[in-house]
Amino acid sequence: MEEIGHFINGQRVAGKSGRAADVFNPATGEVTAKVALATTAELQEAVAIAEKAQVGWAKTNPQRRARVMMKFVSLLHRDMDKLASKLSAEHGKTFPDAKGDVIRGLEVAEFCIGAPHMMKGEFTEGAGPGIDMYSMRQPLGVVAGITPFNFPAMIPMWKFCVAIAAGNSFILKPSERNPSVPMMLAELMQEAGLPDGVLNVINGDKEAVDAILDDPIIQAVGFVGSTAIAEYVYTRGTASGKRVQCFGGAKNHMLIMPDADLDQAADALVGAGFGAAGERCMAISVAVPVGQETADRLIEKLIPRVEALKVGPYTAGDDVDFGPVITPQARDRILGLVNSGVEQGAKLVVDGRGFKLQGYENGNFVGPCLFDNATKDMDIYKEEIFGPVLTVVRAENYEEALSLPMDHEYGNGTAIFTRDGDTARDFASRINIGMVGINVPIPVPLAYHTFGGWKRSGFGDLNQHGPDGFKFYTRTKTVTSRWPSGVKEGAEFSIPTMG
């Protein structure tokens, strides 16, 4: 049985707590490894090492730091298949989808090759008589990232690439469900030339998270996960004086206007609703067709597409559209919510509850489920299901459709399918949601833009990656400088103005 410890000071080390969690293959239910769960003392040891390492790393010029990212990108390409198959084995997503997980992280590493440009400050010559004013961005010191199970490559890279390129050292606390890929990423950063102690991976659960939140040396924490924990991390982290940004759960609506290409919309819904078994924070989980006729035509197109979805283990290759969900508890929760939808009066037009796969009886599989005629008061509408369940809520007109995502507590992503530019423009302008797609079902911004939700999908300020990422992991210092050229004036007692 493989034992996964931590990655501290440039190498793998065994855990010392005596506590460990099982890591499963979600397709088979087999335990494939044990991951150590760190104590507060182990976290503090890693932080002390990171603090020392950061001094030299911050002094390394930004171009040299960027070269580490450059090498890291080439190593990710070299090990792509190895990373993706490990990711599939511990997460359950298909092999091409696992590669996508690595690639969307790699793109952030590529963006970070431009760190010298992002770190440039501002300069005003002659801000006053003989006075120049300039600002510089400086790293914070030791910073941390706490990440979820659903993107074990991409989300750690969103965090550590930016923070490290900016000159910080980093403590990564990945999900205990799939710790192998984050450990492999740390080894690749080391191989790319990162000095020992700049990137450390501490595996663990609540104890390690609380230790990060309370640690006086850690200056900033970036979190991604469920909303309840996001709020907890935000509250506790800010109470201890840290800069904190937390990204939480989602309920992403897609509006389908009567003029939309309904085949395109149906294909988009099936991919965005069921890809990765619906375990994406940008999954579309609610479809809102506008008008009864649009709804009837859409449902007619959706049913055969959903019924044809192929569910299975990643090892079955192209024969599979999506895999198992992460744990038996997640499966039971999803099935419980589907049952509640039926009890509360929604029409389950495709029922995946009884799905079984021969040879994989212990896997956490849930067949695809499609609801029609759901309403706002139902649990399947209010809660994030995070499973292969698509819910159709019919709206009579555009204003009613728009009010659904507007009034929902989550505000991560949304989309509209229409051929009418005016409607699309109105939607993009008025919607109170962080990421908007126009005829694009999963509008995940690219690395050089920024990612972040509104309302209860995001706590704190600034988005992830892109220019905001650099702002989050740096602080600004502004210098006002005068060289008096030998002219000596008397002491000045009133506040200087530049007028």
Does 110 help bind ligand NAD (rule: CB under 6 A)?
Answer: no
Nearer to ligand NAD, 39 or 294 (CB): 39
Q: How far is the CB of 195 from ligand NAD (least distance, A)?
A: 26
How would you classify the pairing of strands 31-36 and 122-128?
Answer: unpaired
State the catalytic residue, choosing from 112, 161, 246, 281.
281
Token code pair at residue 181: 């890929």
Neighbours of 423 (CB within 10 A): 19
Nearer to ligand NAD, 205 or 267 (CB): 205
CB of 385 to ligand NAD, least distance (A): 10
Nearest approach in angstroms of CB 106 to ligand NAD is 17
d(CA 8, CA 169): 12
Residues 63-102 that bind ligand NAD (CB under 6 A): none
What is residue 378's three-state secondary structure?
coil
Region from 97-105, 172-180, 316-324, 374-382 binding ligand NAD, contact rule CB under 6 A: 172-180
Residue with tokens 């609380």: 210
Interacting positions 244-273 with ligand NAD (CB under 6 A):
247-250
| Binding residue (CB under 6 A) for ligand NAD from 90, 176, 215, 321 | 176
Q: What is the DSSP string of 485-497?
A: TT-------SPP-
* Gyration radius of the chain over CA positions: 25
65/177 with CB nearer ligand NAD: 177
Question: Taking the CB of residue 407, how many other CB atoms lie within 10 A of it?
Answer: 9
SS3 428: helix
Binders of ligand NAD among residues 345 to 404 (CB under 6 A) are 384, 386
The Cα 401–Cα 404 span in angstroms is 6
Among 68, 157, 211, 224, binds ligand NAD (CB under 6 A): 224
Residues in CB range of 213: below 8 A, 6 or more apart: 221, 233, 236, 237, 240, 242
Please identify, using beta-carbon distances, which residue of 248 and 367 lies nearer to ligand NAD: 248
- For residue 64, the minimal CB distance to ligand NAD (Å) is 31
Are 448 and 162 a contacting pair, CB within 8 Å?
A: no
Which of residues 258 and 328 has its CB atom nearest to ligand NAD in the complex?
A: 328
Beta carbon of residue 272, minimum distance to ligand NAD (angstroms, whole number):
14
Report the half-sphere exposure of 484 (CA within 13 A, side-chain side): 5
Q: Which is nearer to ligand NAD, 139 or 222 (CB)?
A: 222
Residue 424: count other Cβ atoms within 10 Å of its Cβ.
19
Question: What are the DSSP E strand ranges found in 25-168?
Answer: 31-36, 122-128, 131-139, 142-146
21-44 in b/e form (b: 16+ CB < 10 A) is: bebbbbbbeeebbbbbbbbbebbb
| Cβ-proximal residue to ligand NAD, closest one | 225
- φ, ψ (nearest 5 deg) of residue 261: -75, 105
> Binder to ligand NAD among 156, 352, 453, 469 (CB under 6 A)?
453
Output the smallest distance, CB 280 to ligand NAD, in A: 7
Q: Which amino acid is at 189?
A: M
Classified as helix, coil or strand, 385 is coil
Candidate residues 225, 341, 405, 441; the one interacting with ligand NAD per rule CB under 6 A: 225
DSSP-based three-state secondary structure for 223: strand
Cβ of residue 223: shortest distance to ligand NAD, in angstroms?
Answer: 7
413 binds ligand NAD (CB under 6 A): no
Least Å from the CB of residue 412 to ligand NAD: 5
Q: Is 146 in the site for ligand NAD (CB under 6 A)?
A: yes
Residue with tokens 């709206």: 395
Please report the DSSP string for 34-61 in residue order. EEE---HHHHHHHHHHHHHHHHHHHHS-
Q: CA–CA separation, 75 vs 69, rounded Å?
A: 10
Distance of CA 453 to the CA centre of its chain: 10
Contact code string over 177-206 relative to ligand NAD, x by CB under 6 A: ----------------------------xx
User: Is 281 a residue of the active site?
Assistant: yes
By C-beta, is 225 or 437 nearer to ligand NAD? 225
Instruction: Give the x/- contact pattern for ligand NAD in 271-310, rule: CB under 6 A.
Output: ----------x-----------------------------
Residues 9, 54, 150, 474: which binds ligand NAD (CB under 6 A)? 150
Least Cβ distance, residue 285 to ligand NAD (angstroms) = 10
Q: What are phi and psi of 375, to 5 degrees?
A: -130, 170
Specify the residue, 118 or 221, whose C-beta has the smaller distance to ligand NAD: 221
- Between 146 and 181, whose beta carbon lies closer to ligand NAD? 146
The DSSP bridge partners found for residue 434 are: none
Single out the segment in contact with ligand NAD by CB under 6 A; choices: 67-75, 129-137, 168-176, 387-395. 168-176
**Token pair 């021969």: residue:** 358
Q: What residues line the site for ligand NAD (CB under 6 A)?
A: 146-151, 173, 175-176, 205-206, 209, 224-226, 229, 247-250, 281, 384, 386, 412, 453, 457
By annotation, the residues acting in catalysis are: 281
